Amino acid sequence: MAENPIKVRVEGEIAYIALNRPEKRNAINQAMLRALPEAIDEVDRNDVRAIIIYGEGQAFSAGIDFTSLSNDSGAQSGQGGGPDMQRFRRFVAESQASLNRIESIEKPVIGALHGFVGGLGLELALACDARIASVGARLGMPEVRIGLVPDVGGTTRLTRTVGYARSKELIMTARMIEAADAEKIGLVNRVVAEGTHLEAAEELAREMARNAPLAVGLAKRIIDKGHGLDKMTFQELEVLAQSSLLMTEDFREGATALAQRREPRFKGR
Protein backbone atom coordinates (compact mmCIF):
# COMPACT_ATOMS: atom_id res chain seq x y z
CA MET A 1 0.00 0.00 0.00
CA ALA A 2 1.39 3.41 -0.93
CA GLU A 3 2.42 5.44 2.12
CA ASN A 4 1.31 8.81 0.79
CA PRO A 5 -1.49 9.29 -1.78
CA ILE A 6 0.42 12.25 -3.24
CA LYS A 7 4.17 12.59 -3.81
CA VAL A 8 5.82 15.95 -4.35
CA ARG A 9 9.27 16.79 -5.62
CA VAL A 10 10.90 19.89 -7.07
CA GLU A 11 13.64 19.72 -9.68
CA GLY A 12 14.95 23.12 -10.64
CA GLU A 13 12.07 25.33 -11.74
CA ILE A 14 9.57 22.47 -12.18
CA ALA A 15 7.49 20.87 -9.43
CA TYR A 16 6.13 17.34 -9.84
CA ILE A 17 2.94 16.20 -8.12
CA ALA A 18 2.34 12.46 -8.49
CA LEU A 19 -0.86 10.55 -7.82
CA ASN A 20 0.58 7.73 -5.77
CA ARG A 21 -1.92 4.88 -5.48
CA PRO A 22 -0.66 2.71 -8.34
CA GLU A 23 -2.11 -0.45 -6.81
CA LYS A 24 -5.56 1.19 -7.19
CA ARG A 25 -4.81 2.73 -10.60
CA ASN A 26 -4.67 6.04 -8.71
CA ALA A 27 -8.35 5.94 -7.85
CA ILE A 28 -9.05 9.17 -6.02
CA ASN A 29 -10.18 8.95 -2.40
CA GLN A 30 -10.77 11.59 0.24
CA ALA A 31 -7.17 11.46 1.47
CA MET A 32 -5.89 12.20 -2.03
CA LEU A 33 -8.38 15.04 -2.51
CA ARG A 34 -7.22 16.61 0.74
CA ALA A 35 -3.55 16.12 -0.11
CA LEU A 36 -3.79 17.78 -3.53
CA PRO A 37 -4.29 21.39 -2.35
CA GLU A 38 -1.64 20.82 0.33
CA ALA A 39 0.76 19.78 -2.42
CA ILE A 40 -0.13 22.86 -4.46
CA ASP A 41 0.50 25.07 -1.43
CA GLU A 42 3.85 23.35 -0.87
CA VAL A 43 5.10 24.22 -4.36
CA ASP A 44 3.54 27.67 -4.50
CA ARG A 45 6.89 29.40 -4.10
CA ASN A 46 8.95 31.79 -6.14
CA ASP A 47 11.54 29.33 -7.47
CA VAL A 48 8.86 27.05 -8.96
CA ARG A 49 7.79 28.26 -12.37
CA ALA A 50 5.62 25.34 -13.58
CA ILE A 51 3.90 22.26 -12.14
CA ILE A 52 3.34 18.82 -13.65
CA ILE A 53 0.67 16.45 -12.33
CA TYR A 54 1.00 12.80 -13.34
CA GLY A 55 0.08 9.32 -12.17
CA GLU A 56 2.36 6.58 -10.93
CA GLY A 57 1.91 3.08 -12.32
CA GLN A 58 -0.28 2.03 -15.23
CA ALA A 59 -2.81 4.87 -15.31
CA PHE A 60 -3.23 8.55 -14.63
CA SER A 61 -6.38 7.88 -12.62
CA ALA A 62 -9.25 5.42 -12.72
CA GLY A 63 -11.55 8.07 -11.26
CA ILE A 64 -13.16 8.10 -7.86
CA ASP A 65 -12.45 5.32 -5.40
CA PHE A 66 -15.91 3.84 -4.89
CA THR A 67 -15.01 2.85 -1.34
CA SER A 68 -14.41 6.53 -0.66
CA LEU A 69 -17.65 7.44 -2.40
CA SER A 70 -19.55 5.06 -0.14
CA ASN A 71 -17.72 5.65 3.15
CA ASP A 72 -16.24 9.16 3.05
CA SER A 73 -19.01 10.99 1.23
CA GLY A 74 -21.94 9.85 3.36
CA ALA A 75 -23.56 8.24 0.32
CA GLN A 76 -24.65 5.28 2.46
CA SER A 77 -24.57 6.60 6.02
CA GLY A 78 -27.86 8.37 6.47
CA GLN A 79 -30.76 7.20 8.57
CA GLY A 80 -32.16 3.88 7.46
CA GLY A 81 -29.04 3.12 5.40
CA GLY A 82 -29.77 5.84 2.85
CA PRO A 83 -27.52 8.73 1.93
CA ASP A 84 -26.54 11.49 4.37
CA MET A 85 -27.18 14.35 1.97
CA GLN A 86 -25.62 17.11 4.06
CA ARG A 87 -22.42 15.10 4.43
CA PHE A 88 -22.46 14.26 0.73
CA ARG A 89 -22.81 17.93 -0.24
CA ARG A 90 -19.87 18.79 2.01
CA PHE A 91 -17.81 16.04 0.36
CA VAL A 92 -18.57 17.34 -3.13
CA ALA A 93 -17.89 20.95 -2.10
CA GLU A 94 -14.53 19.94 -0.61
CA SER A 95 -13.70 17.98 -3.76
CA GLN A 96 -14.54 20.95 -5.94
CA ALA A 97 -12.41 23.22 -3.75
CA SER A 98 -9.50 20.80 -4.08
CA LEU A 99 -9.51 21.02 -7.87
CA ASN A 100 -10.24 24.74 -7.80
CA ARG A 101 -6.96 25.23 -5.92
CA ILE A 102 -5.12 23.71 -8.88
CA GLU A 103 -6.88 26.09 -11.24
CA SER A 104 -6.32 29.17 -9.08
CA ILE A 105 -2.55 28.93 -8.56
CA GLU A 106 -0.77 31.59 -10.63
CA LYS A 107 1.57 29.09 -12.23
CA PRO A 108 1.07 26.88 -15.27
CA VAL A 109 -0.09 23.37 -14.37
CA ILE A 110 0.31 20.60 -16.93
CA GLY A 111 -1.35 17.21 -16.74
CA ALA A 112 0.77 14.34 -18.07
CA LEU A 113 -1.77 11.66 -18.93
CA HIS A 114 -1.45 7.98 -19.69
CA GLY A 115 -3.54 4.86 -19.44
CA PHE A 116 -7.04 5.35 -18.06
CA VAL A 117 -8.19 8.93 -17.45
CA GLY A 118 -11.80 8.62 -16.41
CA GLY A 119 -14.44 10.33 -14.31
CA LEU A 120 -12.89 12.24 -11.45
CA GLY A 121 -9.49 11.56 -13.01
CA LEU A 122 -10.50 13.50 -16.10
CA GLU A 123 -12.03 16.22 -13.92
CA LEU A 124 -8.62 16.54 -12.25
CA ALA A 125 -6.90 16.72 -15.64
CA LEU A 126 -9.34 19.41 -16.77
CA ALA A 127 -8.32 21.56 -13.79
CA CYS A 128 -4.83 21.72 -15.33
CA ASP A 129 -3.95 24.44 -17.82
CA ALA A 130 -2.72 22.01 -20.47
CA ARG A 131 -2.86 18.27 -21.00
CA ILE A 132 -0.31 16.01 -22.69
CA ALA A 133 -1.52 12.47 -23.40
CA SER A 134 0.41 9.43 -24.51
CA VAL A 135 -0.77 7.05 -27.18
CA GLY A 136 -2.97 4.46 -25.51
CA ALA A 137 -4.58 6.89 -23.07
CA ARG A 138 -8.37 6.64 -22.87
CA LEU A 139 -10.40 9.58 -21.61
CA GLY A 140 -14.03 10.03 -20.66
CA MET A 141 -16.69 10.64 -18.05
CA PRO A 142 -18.72 7.48 -17.50
CA GLU A 143 -20.75 8.73 -14.52
CA VAL A 144 -24.17 8.42 -16.18
CA ARG A 145 -23.61 4.67 -16.47
CA ILE A 146 -24.13 4.42 -12.72
CA GLY A 147 -26.86 7.05 -12.54
CA LEU A 148 -24.73 10.07 -11.60
CA VAL A 149 -23.33 13.15 -13.34
CA PRO A 150 -19.81 14.66 -13.25
CA ASP A 151 -20.00 16.92 -10.20
CA VAL A 152 -16.44 18.05 -9.42
CA GLY A 153 -16.24 20.65 -12.16
CA GLY A 154 -16.62 18.05 -14.88
CA THR A 155 -19.62 19.49 -16.70
CA THR A 156 -18.37 23.07 -16.37
CA ARG A 157 -14.73 22.54 -17.32
CA LEU A 158 -15.45 20.03 -20.05
CA THR A 159 -17.97 22.41 -21.65
CA ARG A 160 -15.51 25.27 -21.39
CA THR A 161 -12.79 23.13 -22.99
CA VAL A 162 -14.55 21.32 -25.85
CA GLY A 163 -17.83 23.23 -26.23
CA TYR A 164 -21.47 22.42 -25.57
CA ALA A 165 -22.11 19.82 -28.27
CA ARG A 166 -18.96 17.77 -27.64
CA SER A 167 -19.44 17.99 -23.88
CA LYS A 168 -23.03 16.74 -24.11
CA GLU A 169 -22.00 13.89 -26.38
CA LEU A 170 -19.17 12.71 -24.12
CA ILE A 171 -21.13 12.97 -20.88
CA MET A 172 -24.46 11.63 -22.14
CA THR A 173 -22.94 8.64 -23.95
CA ALA A 174 -20.39 7.91 -21.17
CA ARG A 175 -18.02 7.16 -24.04
CA MET A 176 -14.29 6.65 -23.44
CA ILE A 177 -12.25 8.08 -26.32
CA GLU A 178 -8.71 7.50 -27.51
CA ALA A 179 -6.01 10.15 -27.10
CA ALA A 180 -5.98 11.01 -30.81
CA ASP A 181 -9.72 11.73 -30.75
CA ALA A 182 -9.28 13.78 -27.58
CA GLU A 183 -6.69 15.90 -29.38
CA LYS A 184 -9.03 16.48 -32.33
CA ILE A 185 -11.68 18.05 -30.11
CA GLY A 186 -9.23 20.03 -27.98
CA LEU A 187 -9.55 17.90 -24.86
CA VAL A 188 -5.78 17.37 -24.85
CA ASN A 189 -3.16 19.71 -26.27
CA ARG A 190 -0.84 17.08 -27.68
CA VAL A 191 -0.51 13.32 -28.12
CA VAL A 192 2.94 11.79 -27.81
CA ALA A 193 4.47 8.34 -28.09
CA GLU A 194 3.63 5.86 -25.37
CA GLY A 195 5.83 6.32 -22.33
CA THR A 196 6.95 9.85 -23.26
CA HIS A 197 4.09 11.85 -21.71
CA LEU A 198 6.14 13.03 -18.75
CA GLU A 199 9.06 14.07 -20.93
CA ALA A 200 6.74 15.99 -23.26
CA ALA A 201 5.07 17.69 -20.28
CA GLU A 202 8.50 18.74 -19.04
CA GLU A 203 9.29 20.26 -22.42
CA LEU A 204 6.09 22.32 -22.36
CA ALA A 205 6.67 23.28 -18.72
CA ARG A 206 10.15 24.60 -19.50
CA GLU A 207 8.82 26.57 -22.45
CA MET A 208 6.30 28.28 -20.17
CA ALA A 209 8.74 28.63 -17.29
CA ARG A 210 11.24 30.68 -19.26
CA ASN A 211 8.78 33.58 -19.48
CA ALA A 212 8.04 36.26 -16.87
CA PRO A 213 6.23 34.38 -14.07
CA LEU A 214 4.01 37.28 -12.97
CA ALA A 215 2.84 37.80 -16.54
CA VAL A 216 2.24 34.08 -17.06
CA GLY A 217 0.24 33.89 -13.83
CA LEU A 218 -1.91 36.91 -14.64
CA ALA A 219 -2.49 35.70 -18.20
CA LYS A 220 -3.82 32.45 -16.72
CA ARG A 221 -6.14 34.36 -14.37
CA ILE A 222 -7.45 36.62 -17.14
CA ILE A 223 -8.32 33.65 -19.33
CA ASP A 224 -9.95 31.69 -16.48
CA LYS A 225 -11.85 34.61 -14.95
CA GLY A 226 -12.76 36.27 -18.23
CA HIS A 227 -14.37 33.23 -19.79
CA GLY A 228 -18.10 33.88 -20.06
CA LEU A 229 -17.83 37.61 -19.38
CA ASP A 230 -18.89 40.19 -21.91
CA LYS A 231 -16.14 41.47 -24.20
CA MET A 232 -15.72 44.86 -22.55
CA THR A 233 -15.37 43.40 -19.04
CA PHE A 234 -12.94 40.78 -20.34
CA GLN A 235 -10.83 43.52 -21.89
CA GLU A 236 -10.96 45.49 -18.65
CA LEU A 237 -9.24 42.57 -16.94
CA GLU A 238 -6.47 42.86 -19.53
CA VAL A 239 -6.05 46.58 -18.79
CA LEU A 240 -5.92 46.07 -15.02
CA ALA A 241 -3.37 43.26 -15.30
CA GLN A 242 -1.21 45.16 -17.76
CA SER A 243 -1.18 48.31 -15.63
CA SER A 244 0.20 46.33 -12.69
CA LEU A 245 2.77 44.45 -14.80
CA LEU A 246 4.16 47.73 -16.17
CA MET A 247 5.41 48.48 -12.66
CA THR A 248 7.33 45.23 -12.20
CA GLU A 249 11.05 44.62 -12.22
CA ASP A 250 10.46 41.73 -14.60
CA PHE A 251 8.98 44.06 -17.24
CA ARG A 252 12.01 46.33 -17.04
CA GLU A 253 14.30 43.30 -17.31
CA GLY A 254 12.35 41.91 -20.26
CA ALA A 255 12.45 45.19 -22.16
CA THR A 256 16.17 45.64 -21.43
CA ALA A 257 16.99 42.07 -22.49
CA LEU A 258 15.07 42.54 -25.73
CA ALA A 259 17.00 45.73 -26.50
CA GLN A 260 20.30 44.03 -25.67
CA ARG A 261 19.37 40.88 -27.61
CA ARG A 262 19.94 38.53 -24.71
CA GLU A 263 17.85 36.09 -22.69
CA PRO A 264 16.01 37.81 -19.82
CA ARG A 265 16.63 36.85 -16.19
CA PHE A 266 13.25 37.06 -14.53
CA LYS A 267 12.93 37.16 -10.74
CA GLY A 268 9.17 37.11 -10.28
CA ARG A 269 8.91 40.64 -8.95
Task: Give yes or no: 123 in active site.
Answer: yes
**Environment class of 49 (CB within 10 Å of its CB; exposed 0-12, middle 13-18, buried 19+):** buried
Q: What is the DSSP letter of 7?
A: E
Catalytic site residue from 143, 169, 194, 202: 143
Spatial distance between the Cα atoms of 205 and 261, rounded to a whole number of angstroms = 23
Beta bridge partners of 55: 19
Helix (H) or strand (E) holding 257: helix 249-260
Sequence-distant (≥ 6) Cβ neighbours of residue 141 within 8 angstroms: 118, 119, 122, 123, 150, 154, 158, 170, 171, 174
Q: How far apart are CA 73 and CA 135, in angstroms?
A: 34
Catalytic residue among 11, 13, 106, 123: 123
> Annotated active-site positions, please?
123, 143
